[in-house]
Each structure stands twice: as structure tokens, then as C-alpha cells.
Amino acid sequence: MMKKTILNIIWLTFIITSVNYAQFSRTAAMGDLSFSIIDADTKFDPFQLGGNPAYLWQSRKKPRLDFTQFNSADYGDYRRRFSSERNFNVGANVIGIQPLGESGTFQGRAVYYYNKRSNVYRTLKKDTYAGEAFFFTDTTTGDVVYDGPLFEFTHSLPLTEKISVGGTFGYGLLNGLKKVYTYGETVFRNVYGTFGVTYSVNDNLTLGADFAMFNTQERIVASDVNLFTVITYHYRGDTHRIQLSGSKQKYKVSKSGNRFGGEIYYTPSEKLEIGINGGYQTSSTESIFPVEGMEKVDGYSWFRDASLEIKTRYFVNEQITLGVVADYLNSYSWSENRNNSLLLWEWDYSDIGAGFGGSYSNILPGLLLGFEYKISATNSDSSKYIDNKFNSLSSTNHNVKLGGEYLINSLYSIRFGFVFGTMRHDFVYGGDNVDFKKITGGFGINLTDNFVIDVYGFWGRLGYSSSVKRDYWDARITFRFYKF
């Protein structure tokens, strides 16, 4: 009776609160191994590799209910001008998967998210560095808090023996507050949806296609508690700005876009698995504020992304698994001042990479060890015309992952891992000769055939010297039910 009551409470939490939060606690604890080991959450099928909802009912055959409490933080001096000195995140996430027989499979996600950003310099936008040339700031440094629920629901079903369809709908709402001076209040709304279809050519080959749309809107209101005049700025580029003053400043960031995707899933034999995922996405962002009482689009940014990913896994025997991956990404964007159609920024970024890995189970009784290595070449051309800054940079990046799992007995397992990477140039924070190290760990407890507890955590550091660095940590616990 108590067990059923607890499950009903968790299910109710799931119904009323959803987000795409990673549930890969096992592989994450093993050094983030992703293609060299066998796991229910690392298949190369259209749903898990490509996000095509039509394949959900074939990818997830068993019911599952996960309840996860998560905590994470990052802090340090290695950051950009408007980045916070420290971020702290805490929340609870729930995912439920329920096969419905001939009606397909339903999956739902729910999360309540709390994010505190400490010592944020000036900026009032939630996603300051999203690629646009426009910033909205005040004149102070202070703490900012965002919190709210997010929702996501997916349903897929077979139409015929060969054709399946599916859809995903997501909705999120965050409220933000900068706790100093302007007391900038933010309402951030995100709506997205995906429709997908898959066609099973035969038992070994499946083709997929999907179309996704999203729209986000961020409304910011900055005002003085005593209704005095407040000073805010709208930046066009890194250095040029215009002053906005008044007792209440309103600013809006509106984004929308769509994506076309395609997948190929091929299993020519029980020993070989091949997944291919490609996508083409376009989106735009408008920066809007009132001019003489009328809302006006001052800044406009346009983005285009094209990507291709190939993953192959070969099961040599019951003990040895080998994997090979390759991927490519090209991103292009520009920003202009809509008042006079003046081009301000232009970016062209590309990354091509390849990797290999393998795992060996029962190298000793109960011990699984895995290894993955990836090399990538990154190129970026940046033209900030308004700031008179022009850069053409390239970087060769290396990433090594080591991980393992030791089954103590049928009830307990221990997981561990280590990740190390180097970058000639860090295109996010701007440093040269940057390295990243990460230590992961966790354990699993199979209390019954239908109830499992997973614990996961990591500590990482990014930087290029002992004094210029940024530390990261994450800790979470998942309660998983296979019957509910």
C-alpha cells in the first residue's frame, strides 16, 4: 500500500510538472562513454540518435519511471565579460515511459528547475551569448535567479507494418529576477514540437524523417522600486551602445526556427549496428524595445546549421565491443541593425571529427572497461564589422574517455571514469591551449527486479593555467521503477 502511494505521488508530480533532462546516469558515471559499450540509452536508432519521435515505440519496449534529483554548479575566473562568476542549479526531474500495445508508446518528462547566477555583470538577458550581436544591460553587478517548470510529451504508434508516426510537444516557463538596482524581471517562455515518420524497409533497415519547430520569447522589465529613472543600454556589438532611460524599461527577445532531420538505422547482422543522423536548421532572433511608445525591431540575427553524424558499433563477441564515429557541423550566422539594414556581425564555423573506441566485459569477473578517443578540427571566421574586429582561427581538439563498471554482485555495482581533452583554441571562452579534465563516478543498487537506485557525480576543470580556470561539479540520484 505504501509503495503504491509513493508511486502515485511521483506519477502526479510527473503529470503536473517535463524537460529533456539526461537520464544516462550509468554511462555518464563511466566517463561519458557513448558508443563503445552496450546500454539501453545509447542505441543508434532514429529516436535515440536522431530524436525522431516516430521510433519511440520500437526504441523503448519496457515501461519505466525515473525520478531524479539533481544538483550542479560551475564557478571560476575563466569566463566571458557578461558571464556569471558562479552558477548553481538544483531541481527534480521525472520521466515516464509507458507502452500502450497497439496504440504505441507514450513518454513524458517533467522538471522543476532552479538556477542561481552569482555576480552577473550588467547583462539582463537570460542567454547573453546565443550568437546575436545585441545585448541588454544595466549598470550593476548582482545575483540573478531563474526558476520554473518545463514540460515534454511524446507519443508514437505504428500506422502499418512498415510505417510509424510520432510527435513531441514541449512547453517551458521560467521566471527570472536580478536582485539589484533595476530588479530586472524576466519571463522566459519556450514552445517546441516535432513530427516524425519512419519506414521499415525490412527487418534490418529503417529510414526516418522529421520536422521540428520552436519559438521562444523573453520579456524583460527593468524598473526602480521608487519609480525613479533607471539607466539601461542596448548594445550593438561589443562596444557600441545606445542608452535607454525611464522609470520602466521593456525589452523583448523573440526567437523562432525549424529543423529538417533524417535518419538511417541499419543492422545487417546481430553483430553490427549503424546509425546515421543528419539535420538542417534555420532560425532568427529579433531584439525589440519601445520607441515613442511603439515596439520596434532594432536588432535581427539569422542562423543556419547543417550537421551529419555517423555511429557504428561491432559486437566481436559476448565480451568485446568496438565502435567508430564521425561527425560534421557547419554553422553560419549574421546580425544586422534593422533601422538601416547595416550588417554588424558575420560568423562561419565548422567542425569535423572522428573517433574510435572499444570495451571489454568480464576482463575480470564482473568488470567492464571501456575506452574512447576522438579528434576534431575546428575552423571559425568571425567578422565584427561594427567593432572592427576580424578573426580567422583554427583548432585541433583531442578527447579521451576511460570508464568502467564493476558488478560486486547481483545487487550492487560501482562505476568510474576519467575524461581528458585539449583544445588549441576554445571558441566558447576564448582561451588558447586549453585543457579539460573530468572525474566521474557512481553506483547502482538493484533492490528488486522492478526498483533500481542510481547515483552519479563528477568534478571537472576547464582552463589554461592554475589561476585561469573554471570548475564544474554535478551530483544526482535516480529512483527507477520498471512497474508502476
Kindly list the structural domains of the chain, giving each domain's residue range(s) and its CATH number in brackets, ordered by start.
Answer: 2-481 (2.40.170)
CA distance 373 to 358: 10
3-state SS assignment for residue 17:
coil
DSSP code of 78? -
3-state SS assignment for residue 133:
coil
pLDDT at residue 24 in the model:
67
**The three cell numbers locating residue 355:** 573517433
**CA 139 to the chain's CA centroid:** 31
pLDDT at residue 230 in the model:
87
pLDDT at residue 19 in the model:
33
**CA 93 to the chain's CA centroid:** 15
Mean pLDDT of successive 10-residue segments in the chain (484 residues)?
A: 35 32 74 92 94 96 94 95 96 95 94 96 94 94 96 96 97 94 92 98 97 97 81 94 89 97 97 97 97 91 98 96 98 96 96 98 94 97 96 96 96 96 93 96 93 96 90 96 88
CA distance 272 to 157: 26
CA distance 356 to 312: 9
pLDDT at residue 227 in the model:
67
pLDDT at residue 404 in the model:
96
pLDDT at residue 9 in the model:
30
- Cβ proximity of 108 and 13 under 8 Å: no
pLDDT at residue 292 in the model:
82
Strand duo 248-269 + 342-361: pairing: unpaired
**CA 284 to the chain's CA centroid:** 19
CA distance 448 to 23: 20
CA distance 164 to 132: 38
